[in-house]
Amino acid sequence: MATPKGLKQFHRTLPNGDKVLIYSNQNHIMLQLRREVPTELNLLEPSFKVAVDLSPVDALLIASELFAAAALQMTGAPQTTTALPVIPADPLNQEEEQA
C-alpha cells in the first residue's frame, strides 16, 4: 500500500503479523492499526484496519503512556503514578473557553 501523498510514514510489523502505522505531516498525526487473518487459517477471526486522527496533545499523552509501560516492562522497576495535568481540548484556544 502506498503512503498517502504529503505524509511521512512510520510502520512496524509485530511478531504476530499485526501492523502499526503512523502517518504525519505539519497538520495531521494519524495512527492506523491493521490485522489480517487469512480466511483459510481461521474463518471466524476478523481482519480489520482502523485509523484515528490524533491531536498533538493526544499523541503526546499516548506516547507517554506507552513509554512508561515499556520502561516498566524492560526495567522491572515499580511503576510510579503521577497525575497528568488537565489539558484543554484545544490549548491554543484557551481564551475562547474562558470567555
Tens-digit pLDDT profile for residues 15-32: 989 999 999 999 999 999
24 has which bridge partners?
A: 8, 29
Evaluate whether 54 touches 62 at the Cβ level (below 8 Å): yes
| Confidence at 99, pLDDT banded by 50, 70, 90 | very low
Contact 35, 48 (CB under 8 A): yes
Summarised one tens digit per residue, pLDDT across range 59-79 is: 999 999 999 999 999 988 665
DSSP state for residue 17 in the 8-state scheme: S
Look-up: residue for cell 522497576? Answer: 77
pLDDT in tens, 36-45: 988 888 888 8
* Whether the predicted pLDDT of 7 surpasses 90: yes
Question: Which residues make Cβ contacts (< 8 Å) with residue 70, sequence separation at least 6?
Answer: none
Residues in Cβ contact with 52 at an 8 Å cutoff, skipping those fewer than 6 apart? 30, 31
